[in-house]
Chain A
Amino acid sequence: MSEALYQSIVLESSRNPQHAGRPAVFNAEGRSENRMCGDIISIFRGADGWRHEAQGCAILAASAELMCIAATGKTAAEISMLSWMFEKLVNTGEVNPELGDLNALASIAQYPSRLRCATLPWSALGNAIAGDAENG
Protein backbone atom coordinates (compact mmCIF):
# COMPACT_ATOMS: atom_id res chain seq x y z
CA MET A 1 0.00 0.00 0.00
CA SER A 2 1.39 3.34 -1.01
CA GLU A 3 0.58 5.14 2.24
CA ALA A 4 1.54 2.18 4.46
CA LEU A 5 3.67 4.35 6.69
CA TYR A 6 0.71 6.40 7.83
CA GLN A 7 -1.25 3.54 9.35
CA SER A 8 -3.41 4.13 12.37
CA ILE A 9 -0.87 3.18 15.02
CA VAL A 10 1.58 5.77 13.68
CA LEU A 11 -1.06 8.49 13.40
CA GLU A 12 -2.50 7.65 16.80
CA SER A 13 0.91 7.67 18.48
CA SER A 14 1.77 11.03 16.98
CA ARG A 15 -1.61 12.60 17.67
CA ASN A 16 -2.35 11.33 21.15
CA PRO A 17 0.98 10.56 22.78
CA GLN A 18 0.90 9.32 26.36
CA HIS A 19 4.61 9.89 26.94
CA ALA A 20 5.01 13.42 25.65
CA GLY A 21 6.22 16.34 27.71
CA ARG A 22 9.22 17.12 29.86
CA PRO A 23 8.83 15.64 33.35
CA ALA A 24 9.25 18.07 36.28
CA VAL A 25 12.04 15.89 37.62
CA PHE A 26 14.30 13.73 35.47
CA ASN A 27 17.61 11.97 35.96
CA ALA A 28 18.74 11.53 32.37
CA GLU A 29 18.33 13.72 29.29
CA GLY A 30 19.35 13.44 25.66
CA ARG A 31 18.80 15.60 22.60
CA SER A 32 19.14 15.16 18.89
CA GLU A 33 18.31 17.29 15.90
CA ASN A 34 18.29 17.18 12.15
CA ARG A 35 19.52 20.54 10.90
CA MET A 36 18.50 19.68 7.36
CA CYS A 37 14.80 19.66 8.16
CA GLY A 38 14.49 21.33 11.54
CA ASP A 39 13.33 18.28 13.51
CA ILE A 40 14.32 18.50 17.18
CA ILE A 41 13.79 15.91 19.88
CA SER A 42 14.61 15.69 23.59
CA ILE A 43 14.29 12.55 25.69
CA PHE A 44 14.01 12.46 29.49
CA ARG A 45 13.96 9.71 32.10
CA GLY A 46 11.49 10.68 34.80
CA ALA A 47 9.91 8.83 37.70
CA ASP A 48 7.45 6.96 35.45
CA GLY A 49 9.93 6.13 32.69
CA TRP A 50 11.10 7.68 29.42
CA ARG A 51 9.35 10.72 27.99
CA HIS A 52 9.87 12.84 24.89
CA GLU A 53 9.50 16.36 23.63
CA ALA A 54 9.36 16.29 19.82
CA GLN A 55 9.22 19.18 17.37
CA GLY A 56 8.73 17.85 13.88
CA CYS A 57 6.74 15.53 11.67
CA ALA A 58 4.30 12.72 12.49
CA ILE A 59 6.94 10.05 11.93
CA LEU A 60 9.30 11.66 14.45
CA ALA A 61 6.53 12.04 17.03
CA ALA A 62 5.22 8.49 16.54
CA SER A 63 8.69 6.97 16.64
CA ALA A 64 9.45 8.88 19.87
CA GLU A 65 6.22 7.74 21.49
CA LEU A 66 6.62 4.09 20.52
CA MET A 67 10.26 4.17 21.60
CA CYS A 68 9.45 5.59 25.05
CA ILE A 69 6.86 2.85 25.57
CA ALA A 70 9.32 0.17 24.50
CA ALA A 71 12.29 1.53 26.47
CA THR A 72 10.57 2.15 29.77
CA GLY A 73 11.63 -0.40 32.39
CA LYS A 74 14.53 -1.65 30.28
CA THR A 75 18.22 -1.63 31.25
CA ALA A 76 20.81 0.28 29.21
CA ALA A 77 21.98 -2.99 27.67
CA GLU A 78 18.43 -3.99 26.72
CA ILE A 79 17.80 -0.56 25.19
CA SER A 80 21.00 -0.85 23.21
CA MET A 81 19.78 -4.19 21.82
CA LEU A 82 16.34 -2.68 21.02
CA SER A 83 18.01 0.21 19.28
CA TRP A 84 20.07 -2.17 17.17
CA MET A 85 16.99 -4.19 16.24
CA PHE A 86 15.04 -1.04 15.41
CA GLU A 87 17.84 0.22 13.18
CA LYS A 88 17.69 -3.11 11.33
CA LEU A 89 13.90 -2.96 11.11
CA VAL A 90 13.76 0.48 9.50
CA ASN A 91 16.61 -0.27 7.13
CA THR A 92 15.35 -3.65 5.91
CA GLY A 93 11.59 -3.40 6.48
CA GLU A 94 11.67 -6.93 7.98
CA VAL A 95 9.24 -7.23 10.87
CA ASN A 96 10.77 -8.47 14.14
CA PRO A 97 8.31 -9.96 16.67
CA GLU A 98 10.50 -8.79 19.55
CA LEU A 99 9.86 -5.15 18.58
CA GLY A 100 6.08 -5.25 19.14
CA ASP A 101 4.36 -1.98 18.12
CA LEU A 102 7.64 -0.56 16.85
CA ASN A 103 7.04 -2.75 13.82
CA ALA A 104 4.48 -0.15 12.71
CA LEU A 105 7.47 1.81 11.42
CA ALA A 106 8.85 -1.05 9.32
CA SER A 107 7.60 0.47 6.08
CA ILE A 108 9.87 3.51 6.57
CA ALA A 109 12.38 1.31 4.72
CA GLN A 110 10.42 2.22 1.56
CA TYR A 111 10.87 5.94 2.31
CA PRO A 112 14.64 6.39 2.50
CA SER A 113 14.36 10.19 2.76
CA ARG A 114 12.34 9.78 5.96
CA LEU A 115 14.57 7.24 7.71
CA ARG A 116 16.19 9.91 9.84
CA CYS A 117 12.78 11.00 11.18
CA ALA A 118 12.29 7.53 12.67
CA THR A 119 15.82 7.11 14.02
CA LEU A 120 16.28 10.60 15.50
CA PRO A 121 14.55 9.73 18.82
CA TRP A 122 16.85 6.72 19.18
CA SER A 123 19.91 8.95 18.76
CA ALA A 124 18.54 11.21 21.50
CA LEU A 125 17.89 8.18 23.72
CA GLY A 126 21.44 6.95 23.05
CA ASN A 127 22.75 10.37 24.05
CA ALA A 128 20.69 10.30 27.25
CA ILE A 129 22.05 6.90 28.19
CA ALA A 130 25.63 7.84 27.30
CA GLY A 131 25.33 11.03 29.40
CA ASP A 132 23.84 9.00 32.25
CA ALA A 133 26.76 6.53 32.14
CA GLU A 134 29.22 9.44 32.20
CA ASN A 135 27.55 11.06 35.20
CA GLY A 136 26.95 7.76 36.97
Chain B
Amino acid sequence: MSLTTLPMDVHAIRQDFPILSQKVHGKPFVFLDSGASAQKPKQVIEAMRFVMEEQYANVHRGLHYMSEKASDAYENVRDKVAELLNAGSREEIVFTRNATESINLVAYTWGRTALNPGDVVAVSEMEHHANLVPWQMLRDAHGTELRIIKITDSGELDWDSLEQVFADGKVKLLALTHMSNVLGSYTPVERLAKFAHAHGAKILLDGSQAIVHRAVDVRAIDADFYVFSGHKLYGPTGIGVLYAKAEILDAMPPFLGGGDMIASVSYQKSTWAKPPHRFEAGTPAIIETIGLGAAIDYVRAIGFDAIAEHEQQLTEHALATLNQVEGLRILGSAQDRGGVISFVMKDAHAHDIATLLDRQGIAVRAGHHCAEPLMGRLGVSSTARATFGLYTLPEEIDALASGLERVRKIFA
Protein backbone atom coordinates (compact mmCIF):
# COMPACT_ATOMS: atom_id res chain seq x y z
CA MET B 1 0.00 0.00 0.00
CA SER B 2 1.37 3.38 -0.93
CA LEU B 3 1.65 5.83 1.89
CA THR B 4 0.48 8.67 -0.29
CA THR B 5 -2.97 7.10 -0.31
CA LEU B 6 -3.35 7.28 3.47
CA PRO B 7 -5.97 9.80 4.53
CA MET B 8 -3.68 11.49 7.03
CA ASP B 9 0.02 11.98 7.66
CA VAL B 10 0.66 8.98 9.88
CA HIS B 11 4.41 9.60 9.95
CA ALA B 12 3.83 13.08 11.35
CA ILE B 13 1.32 11.68 13.86
CA ARG B 14 3.88 9.12 15.00
CA GLN B 15 6.22 11.94 15.94
CA ASP B 16 3.68 12.88 18.61
CA PHE B 17 4.00 9.50 20.34
CA PRO B 18 7.41 9.35 22.03
CA ILE B 19 7.18 5.66 22.90
CA LEU B 20 6.90 4.61 19.24
CA SER B 21 10.53 5.53 18.55
CA GLN B 22 11.76 2.94 21.04
CA LYS B 23 13.37 -0.34 20.10
CA VAL B 24 12.15 -3.59 21.63
CA HIS B 25 14.57 -6.53 21.71
CA GLY B 26 16.73 -4.46 19.36
CA LYS B 27 13.96 -4.17 16.74
CA PRO B 28 11.70 -1.25 15.81
CA PHE B 29 8.72 -1.26 18.15
CA VAL B 30 5.60 -2.39 16.26
CA PHE B 31 2.70 -1.75 18.60
CA LEU B 32 -0.41 -3.66 17.58
CA ASP B 33 -2.11 -3.73 20.97
CA SER B 34 -3.91 -0.38 21.02
CA GLY B 35 -7.21 -2.16 21.58
CA ALA B 36 -6.02 -3.09 25.06
CA SER B 37 -4.69 0.40 25.76
CA ALA B 38 -3.46 3.03 23.34
CA GLN B 39 -0.19 4.95 23.48
CA LYS B 40 -0.19 8.58 24.55
CA PRO B 41 0.70 11.61 22.43
CA LYS B 42 2.97 14.25 23.92
CA GLN B 43 0.02 16.67 23.91
CA VAL B 44 -1.64 14.49 26.58
CA ILE B 45 1.58 14.04 28.52
CA GLU B 46 2.22 17.78 28.38
CA ALA B 47 -1.31 18.68 29.51
CA MET B 48 -0.92 16.45 32.56
CA ARG B 49 2.51 17.84 33.33
CA PHE B 50 1.19 21.38 32.97
CA VAL B 51 -1.66 20.90 35.41
CA MET B 52 0.65 19.35 38.01
CA GLU B 53 3.36 21.97 37.66
CA GLU B 54 1.31 25.08 37.09
CA GLN B 55 -2.38 24.68 37.76
CA TYR B 56 -3.03 22.13 40.45
CA ALA B 57 -5.33 22.18 43.47
CA ASN B 58 -8.44 20.25 44.44
CA VAL B 59 -11.55 21.03 42.43
CA HIS B 60 -14.99 22.38 43.40
CA ARG B 61 -13.84 23.33 46.90
CA GLY B 62 -11.20 25.99 47.15
CA LEU B 63 -12.07 29.64 47.12
CA HIS B 64 -8.62 30.34 45.83
CA TYR B 65 -6.95 30.99 42.52
CA MET B 66 -5.42 27.55 41.91
CA SER B 67 -8.58 25.68 42.78
CA GLU B 68 -10.57 27.87 40.41
CA LYS B 69 -8.07 27.27 37.61
CA ALA B 70 -8.05 23.51 38.18
CA SER B 71 -11.85 23.38 38.51
CA ASP B 72 -12.26 25.28 35.23
CA ALA B 73 -9.83 22.98 33.44
CA TYR B 74 -11.54 19.90 34.88
CA GLU B 75 -15.08 21.02 34.09
CA ASN B 76 -14.02 22.16 30.65
CA VAL B 77 -13.33 18.51 29.81
CA ARG B 78 -16.97 17.72 30.50
CA ASP B 79 -17.84 20.10 27.66
CA LYS B 80 -15.28 18.43 25.41
CA VAL B 81 -16.75 14.98 26.11
CA ALA B 82 -20.28 16.28 25.56
CA GLU B 83 -19.17 17.66 22.19
CA LEU B 84 -17.31 14.47 21.30
CA LEU B 85 -20.47 12.42 21.87
CA ASN B 86 -22.88 15.14 20.71
CA ALA B 87 -24.67 14.85 24.05
CA GLY B 88 -27.65 17.09 24.69
CA SER B 89 -25.97 18.75 27.67
CA ARG B 90 -22.79 18.65 29.73
CA GLU B 91 -24.81 17.39 32.72
CA GLU B 92 -25.26 14.09 30.88
CA ILE B 93 -21.53 13.33 31.19
CA VAL B 94 -20.39 11.49 34.34
CA PHE B 95 -16.70 10.89 34.96
CA THR B 96 -15.77 7.41 36.20
CA ARG B 97 -12.55 5.42 36.34
CA ASN B 98 -13.20 3.47 33.14
CA ALA B 99 -15.92 1.83 31.04
CA THR B 100 -16.10 -1.05 33.52
CA GLU B 101 -16.94 1.31 36.36
CA SER B 102 -19.47 3.12 34.16
CA ILE B 103 -21.37 -0.11 33.49
CA ASN B 104 -21.18 -1.12 37.15
CA LEU B 105 -22.55 2.29 38.10
CA VAL B 106 -25.55 1.80 35.81
CA ALA B 107 -26.12 -1.76 37.03
CA TYR B 108 -25.88 -0.76 40.67
CA THR B 109 -28.01 2.39 40.64
CA TRP B 110 -30.35 2.35 37.65
CA GLY B 111 -30.46 -1.46 37.66
CA ARG B 112 -31.63 -1.67 41.26
CA THR B 113 -34.25 1.06 41.00
CA ALA B 114 -35.60 1.16 37.44
CA LEU B 115 -35.60 -2.62 37.07
CA ASN B 116 -37.83 -4.97 39.01
CA PRO B 117 -37.16 -8.60 39.85
CA GLY B 118 -38.15 -10.62 36.80
CA ASP B 119 -37.22 -7.88 34.34
CA VAL B 120 -34.69 -8.96 31.74
CA VAL B 121 -31.28 -7.56 30.81
CA ALA B 122 -30.12 -8.80 27.39
CA VAL B 123 -26.49 -8.90 26.28
CA SER B 124 -24.83 -10.59 23.31
CA GLU B 125 -22.45 -13.51 23.02
CA MET B 126 -19.63 -11.14 22.12
CA GLU B 127 -19.49 -8.93 25.19
CA HIS B 128 -16.38 -8.10 27.14
CA HIS B 129 -16.61 -9.40 30.72
CA ALA B 130 -17.22 -5.76 31.72
CA ASN B 131 -20.63 -5.89 30.03
CA LEU B 132 -21.54 -9.33 31.31
CA VAL B 133 -20.39 -9.74 34.91
CA PRO B 134 -22.13 -6.61 36.31
CA TRP B 135 -25.44 -7.92 34.92
CA GLN B 136 -24.81 -11.34 36.48
CA MET B 137 -24.17 -9.59 39.79
CA LEU B 138 -27.38 -7.58 39.40
CA ARG B 139 -29.29 -10.77 38.60
CA ASP B 140 -27.95 -12.48 41.73
CA ALA B 141 -28.57 -9.49 44.01
CA HIS B 142 -31.83 -8.16 42.60
CA GLY B 143 -33.60 -11.04 40.88
CA THR B 144 -33.43 -9.75 37.33
CA GLU B 145 -32.97 -12.22 34.50
CA LEU B 146 -30.02 -12.22 32.12
CA ARG B 147 -30.46 -13.37 28.53
CA ILE B 148 -27.81 -13.87 25.88
CA ILE B 149 -28.38 -12.91 22.25
CA LYS B 150 -26.57 -15.18 19.83
CA ILE B 151 -24.11 -14.09 17.19
CA THR B 152 -23.78 -15.60 13.74
CA ASP B 153 -20.68 -17.50 12.62
CA SER B 154 -19.54 -14.39 10.80
CA GLY B 155 -19.49 -12.52 14.09
CA GLU B 156 -22.57 -10.38 13.66
CA LEU B 157 -25.54 -10.06 15.96
CA ASP B 158 -28.14 -12.73 15.13
CA TRP B 159 -31.34 -10.76 14.53
CA ASP B 160 -33.58 -13.83 14.90
CA SER B 161 -32.08 -14.50 18.28
CA LEU B 162 -32.57 -10.84 19.24
CA GLU B 163 -36.25 -11.05 18.34
CA GLN B 164 -36.65 -14.28 20.30
CA VAL B 165 -35.03 -12.79 23.38
CA PHE B 166 -37.43 -9.82 23.19
CA ALA B 167 -40.52 -11.87 22.29
CA ASP B 168 -42.16 -12.01 25.73
CA GLY B 169 -41.78 -8.28 26.35
CA LYS B 170 -39.74 -8.69 29.52
CA VAL B 171 -36.49 -7.14 28.30
CA LYS B 172 -35.98 -3.73 29.89
CA LEU B 173 -32.32 -3.21 28.96
CA LEU B 174 -30.32 -4.15 25.89
CA ALA B 175 -26.64 -3.87 26.85
CA LEU B 176 -24.35 -4.33 23.86
CA THR B 177 -20.91 -3.64 22.57
CA HIS B 178 -20.67 -1.00 19.82
CA MET B 179 -17.61 -2.86 18.46
CA SER B 180 -16.42 -6.30 19.52
CA ASN B 181 -13.01 -6.27 21.19
CA VAL B 182 -12.35 -9.75 19.78
CA LEU B 183 -13.95 -9.85 16.33
CA GLY B 184 -13.83 -6.20 15.39
CA SER B 185 -17.50 -6.31 14.32
CA TYR B 186 -19.49 -3.11 14.66
CA THR B 187 -23.07 -3.50 15.78
CA PRO B 188 -25.84 -1.57 13.95
CA VAL B 189 -26.48 0.71 16.91
CA GLU B 190 -29.13 3.05 15.44
CA ARG B 191 -31.22 0.11 14.33
CA LEU B 192 -30.72 -1.66 17.67
CA ALA B 193 -31.72 1.45 19.65
CA LYS B 194 -34.88 1.76 17.56
CA PHE B 195 -35.62 -1.92 18.14
CA ALA B 196 -35.04 -1.71 21.89
CA HIS B 197 -37.19 1.41 22.27
CA ALA B 198 -39.98 -0.09 20.19
CA HIS B 199 -40.00 -2.96 22.68
CA GLY B 200 -40.02 -0.75 25.76
CA ALA B 201 -36.35 -1.30 26.62
CA LYS B 202 -33.44 1.07 27.16
CA ILE B 203 -30.13 0.56 25.37
CA LEU B 204 -26.63 0.73 26.84
CA LEU B 205 -23.67 0.71 24.46
CA ASP B 206 -20.12 -0.23 25.39
CA GLY B 207 -18.14 2.11 23.18
CA SER B 208 -14.68 1.21 24.49
CA GLN B 209 -13.45 0.07 21.07
CA ALA B 210 -15.75 2.03 18.74
CA ILE B 211 -15.07 5.49 20.19
CA VAL B 212 -11.46 5.23 19.05
CA HIS B 213 -12.29 4.72 15.40
CA ARG B 214 -15.55 6.48 14.59
CA ALA B 215 -17.45 9.64 15.32
CA VAL B 216 -20.10 8.73 17.88
CA ASP B 217 -23.32 10.71 18.06
CA VAL B 218 -25.35 9.52 21.02
CA ARG B 219 -28.37 11.59 19.95
CA ALA B 220 -28.36 10.26 16.39
CA ILE B 221 -28.04 6.74 17.81
CA ASP B 222 -30.63 7.59 20.48
CA ALA B 223 -28.53 5.75 23.07
CA ASP B 224 -29.78 5.82 26.65
CA PHE B 225 -26.35 4.98 28.06
CA TYR B 226 -22.95 5.10 26.35
CA VAL B 227 -19.68 4.24 28.09
CA PHE B 228 -15.99 4.37 27.22
CA SER B 229 -12.51 4.45 28.79
CA GLY B 230 -10.08 7.31 28.32
CA HIS B 231 -6.99 5.15 28.02
CA LYS B 232 -8.07 3.50 24.78
CA LEU B 233 -8.67 6.94 23.26
CA TYR B 234 -5.01 8.00 23.67
CA GLY B 235 -5.76 9.46 27.10
CA PRO B 236 -4.48 8.33 30.48
CA THR B 237 -5.70 5.43 32.60
CA GLY B 238 -8.02 6.09 35.53
CA ILE B 239 -10.60 8.17 33.68
CA GLY B 240 -13.72 6.87 31.99
CA VAL B 241 -17.07 8.25 30.89
CA LEU B 242 -20.70 7.41 31.40
CA TYR B 243 -23.14 9.24 29.16
CA ALA B 244 -26.79 8.88 30.08
CA LYS B 245 -29.86 10.84 29.02
CA ALA B 246 -30.64 13.63 31.48
CA GLU B 247 -34.04 12.29 32.56
CA ILE B 248 -32.49 8.89 33.32
CA LEU B 249 -29.62 10.34 35.37
CA ASP B 250 -32.06 12.60 37.26
CA ALA B 251 -33.96 9.57 38.51
CA MET B 252 -30.90 7.53 39.45
CA PRO B 253 -29.77 7.30 43.09
CA PRO B 254 -26.08 7.82 43.89
CA PHE B 255 -23.47 5.09 43.42
CA LEU B 256 -20.82 5.97 46.02
CA GLY B 257 -21.42 8.30 48.95
CA GLY B 258 -19.04 10.99 50.16
CA GLY B 259 -17.90 14.47 49.38
CA ASP B 260 -18.90 16.34 46.22
CA MET B 261 -22.01 14.24 45.58
CA ILE B 262 -24.26 15.83 48.21
CA ALA B 263 -26.54 18.85 48.36
CA SER B 264 -26.72 18.90 52.17
CA VAL B 265 -25.58 16.63 54.98
CA SER B 266 -26.68 16.35 58.59
CA TYR B 267 -26.13 13.52 61.05
CA GLN B 268 -29.64 12.30 60.30
CA LYS B 269 -29.87 12.66 56.56
CA SER B 270 -28.19 13.76 53.37
CA THR B 271 -29.62 14.95 50.10
CA TRP B 272 -28.01 14.40 46.77
CA ALA B 273 -26.45 16.82 44.36
CA LYS B 274 -27.85 17.01 40.85
CA PRO B 275 -26.21 14.94 38.10
CA PRO B 276 -23.46 14.61 37.13
CA HIS B 277 -21.92 15.45 40.53
CA ARG B 278 -24.30 13.06 42.29
CA PHE B 279 -22.26 10.26 40.72
CA GLU B 280 -18.79 11.66 41.36
CA ALA B 281 -18.12 11.15 45.06
CA GLY B 282 -14.74 12.14 46.43
CA THR B 283 -11.84 13.90 44.79
CA PRO B 284 -11.96 12.90 41.13
CA ALA B 285 -9.08 11.99 38.82
CA ILE B 286 -8.35 15.65 38.11
CA ILE B 287 -5.05 15.22 36.28
CA GLU B 288 -6.29 12.25 34.25
CA THR B 289 -9.49 14.05 33.31
CA ILE B 290 -7.48 16.97 31.98
CA GLY B 291 -5.33 14.43 30.11
CA LEU B 292 -8.48 13.01 28.55
CA GLY B 293 -9.46 16.50 27.46
CA ALA B 294 -6.14 16.85 25.66
CA ALA B 295 -6.65 13.44 24.02
CA ILE B 296 -10.08 14.49 22.76
CA ASP B 297 -8.62 17.71 21.34
CA TYR B 298 -5.94 15.62 19.68
CA VAL B 299 -8.25 13.16 17.91
CA ARG B 300 -10.75 15.84 16.95
CA ALA B 301 -7.99 17.93 15.38
CA ILE B 302 -7.09 14.96 13.18
CA GLY B 303 -10.76 14.35 12.56
CA PHE B 304 -12.81 11.19 12.71
CA ASP B 305 -13.38 11.11 8.96
CA ALA B 306 -9.65 10.64 8.42
CA ILE B 307 -9.30 8.31 11.41
CA ALA B 308 -12.16 6.09 10.21
CA GLU B 309 -10.85 5.98 6.65
CA HIS B 310 -7.35 5.12 7.87
CA GLU B 311 -8.77 2.32 10.03
CA GLN B 312 -10.75 0.99 7.08
CA GLN B 313 -7.69 0.96 4.81
CA LEU B 314 -5.57 -0.76 7.45
CA THR B 315 -8.26 -3.35 8.11
CA GLU B 316 -8.63 -4.20 4.43
CA HIS B 317 -4.85 -4.40 4.06
CA ALA B 318 -4.56 -6.61 7.14
CA LEU B 319 -7.31 -9.00 6.06
CA ALA B 320 -5.71 -9.39 2.63
CA THR B 321 -2.15 -9.75 3.97
CA LEU B 322 -2.81 -12.04 6.92
CA ASN B 323 -5.05 -14.35 4.91
CA GLN B 324 -1.96 -15.20 2.86
CA VAL B 325 -0.17 -16.68 5.87
CA GLU B 326 -0.54 -20.43 5.55
CA GLY B 327 -2.46 -22.06 8.37
CA LEU B 328 -3.70 -18.76 9.77
CA ARG B 329 -7.42 -18.32 10.39
CA ILE B 330 -9.01 -14.94 11.08
CA LEU B 331 -12.02 -15.12 13.37
CA GLY B 332 -15.22 -13.50 12.18
CA SER B 333 -16.08 -12.06 8.80
CA ALA B 334 -18.58 -9.33 9.63
CA GLN B 335 -19.48 -6.92 6.83
CA ASP B 336 -18.90 -3.91 9.05
CA ARG B 337 -15.63 -4.55 10.84
CA GLY B 338 -12.68 -2.49 11.94
CA GLY B 339 -9.17 -2.50 13.30
CA VAL B 340 -9.45 -5.42 15.70
CA ILE B 341 -8.32 -8.71 14.18
CA SER B 342 -8.20 -11.97 16.11
CA PHE B 343 -6.59 -15.03 14.62
CA VAL B 344 -5.40 -18.53 15.38
CA MET B 345 -2.71 -20.58 13.67
CA LYS B 346 -2.46 -24.25 12.97
CA ASP B 347 0.01 -25.89 15.38
CA ALA B 348 1.00 -22.65 17.14
CA HIS B 349 -0.74 -21.59 20.33
CA ALA B 350 -1.61 -17.90 20.70
CA HIS B 351 0.85 -17.44 23.56
CA ASP B 352 3.71 -18.91 21.57
CA ILE B 353 2.76 -16.63 18.67
CA ALA B 354 2.78 -13.59 20.95
CA THR B 355 6.13 -14.50 22.52
CA LEU B 356 7.80 -15.11 19.17
CA LEU B 357 6.39 -11.89 17.71
CA ASP B 358 7.53 -9.99 20.80
CA ARG B 359 11.09 -11.12 20.12
CA GLN B 360 10.76 -9.41 16.76
CA GLY B 361 9.60 -6.21 18.43
CA ILE B 362 5.92 -6.78 17.57
CA ALA B 363 3.37 -6.39 20.36
CA VAL B 364 0.09 -8.27 19.97
CA ARG B 365 -2.26 -9.53 22.62
CA ALA B 366 -2.89 -13.23 23.23
CA GLY B 367 -5.46 -14.85 25.45
CA HIS B 368 -9.21 -14.77 25.90
CA HIS B 369 -9.40 -10.94 25.75
CA CYS B 370 -11.76 -10.80 28.74
CA ALA B 371 -14.34 -12.63 26.65
CA GLU B 372 -14.17 -16.22 27.88
CA PRO B 373 -17.72 -17.17 26.87
CA LEU B 374 -17.08 -15.90 23.33
CA MET B 375 -13.96 -18.08 23.11
CA GLY B 376 -16.21 -21.05 23.88
CA ARG B 377 -18.69 -19.92 21.21
CA LEU B 378 -15.88 -19.68 18.64
CA GLY B 379 -14.49 -23.06 19.67
CA VAL B 380 -11.04 -21.77 20.64
CA SER B 381 -9.37 -21.39 24.03
CA SER B 382 -7.49 -18.26 23.12
CA THR B 383 -6.57 -16.13 20.13
CA ALA B 384 -3.83 -13.76 19.11
CA ARG B 385 -5.13 -10.27 18.40
CA ALA B 386 -3.73 -7.34 16.46
CA THR B 387 -5.40 -3.96 16.96
CA PHE B 388 -4.72 -0.70 15.17
CA GLY B 389 -4.49 2.90 16.24
CA LEU B 390 -4.24 6.18 14.38
CA TYR B 391 -0.44 5.79 14.40
CA THR B 392 -0.45 2.31 12.80
CA LEU B 393 1.31 2.01 9.44
CA PRO B 394 0.55 -0.53 6.70
CA GLU B 395 4.23 -1.48 6.92
CA GLU B 396 3.62 -2.61 10.50
CA ILE B 397 0.96 -5.00 9.29
CA ASP B 398 3.46 -6.28 6.73
CA ALA B 399 5.95 -6.76 9.58
CA LEU B 400 3.29 -8.73 11.44
CA ALA B 401 2.70 -10.95 8.42
CA SER B 402 6.46 -11.65 8.05
CA GLY B 403 6.67 -12.30 11.78
CA LEU B 404 3.86 -14.80 11.50
CA GLU B 405 5.60 -16.50 8.57
CA ARG B 406 8.56 -16.96 10.87
CA VAL B 407 6.33 -18.41 13.59
CA ARG B 408 4.84 -20.78 11.04
CA LYS B 409 8.28 -21.99 10.00
CA ILE B 410 9.34 -22.61 13.61
CA PHE B 411 6.25 -24.70 14.25
CA ALA B 412 6.11 -26.35 10.81
Contacts and interface: CB of A to CB of B under 8 A. Distances in A.
Interface of A: 2-3, 5-6, 11, 15, 36-39, 55-59, 111, 113-114, 117
A80 to B, nearest CB: 28
Given A6-B410, A36-B367, A38-B375, A114 B381 contact: no
A70 B360 CA distance: 33
Interface of B: 25-26, 347-352, 355-356, 359-360, 366-368, 372, 375, 381-382, 410-411
A56 B349 contact: yes
A38 B371 CA distance: 12
Contact of A114 (B350, B351, B367, B410): B351
Contact of A5 (B355, B360, B368, B375): B355
Contact of B355 (A11, A39, A56, A111): A111
25 contacts: A2-B26, A2-B360, A3-B356, A3-B410, A6-B352, A11-B410, A11-B411, A15-B347, A36-B367, A37-B366, A37-B382, A38-B372, A38-B375, A38-B381, A39-B351, A55-B381, A56-B349, A56-B351, A56-B381, A58-B348, A58-B352, A59-B352, A111-B355, A114-B355, A117-B351
4 interchain residue pairs of minimum CB distance: A57-B349, A57-B351, A2-B359, A38-B381
Q: Find the residue from A36, A55, A57, A113 having the highest chain B CB count within 10 A.
A: A57
Contacts of A11: 410-411
A3 B348 CA distance: 14
The majority secondary structure among interface residues of chain B is mixed
A57 B368 contact: no
Q: Find the residue from B25, B352, B375, B410 having the highest chain A CB count within 10 A.
A: B352
Nearest to B381: A38
B375 to A, nearest CB: 7
A3 B409 CA distance: 13
A20 B411 CA distance: 19
B356 to A, nearest CB: 6
A3 B349 CA distance: 15
Nearest to B382: A38
B304 to A, nearest CB: 34
Contacts of B356: 3, 6
B367 A58 contact: no
A3 B356 CA distance: 7
B158 to A, nearest CB: 25
A11 B410 CA distance: 8
B27 to A, nearest CB: 9
B351 A3 contact: no
A40 B355 CA distance: 19
Contacts of B382: 37-38
A5 B411 CA distance: 13
A58 B366 CA distance: 14
Contacts of A2: 25-26, 359-360
Nearest to B372: A38
Contacts of B347: 15
Contact of A3 (B359, B367, B368, B375): B359
A24 B141 CA distance: 44
Contacts of B381: 38, 55-56
Contact of A37 (B25, B348, B367): B367
A104 B410 CA distance: 16
Contacts of B355: 5, 111, 113-114
Nearest to B406: A3
A49 to B, nearest CB: 26
Nearest to B25: A2
A37 B372 CA distance: 10
Nearest to B27: A2
Contacts of A36: 367
Nearest to A61: B349
A15 B352 CA distance: 13
Given A5-B355, A6-B352, A58 B368 contact: no
A115 to B, nearest CB: 12
Q: Find the residue from B350, B359, B367, B410 having the highest chain A CB count within 10 A.
A: B359
B378 to A, nearest CB: 13
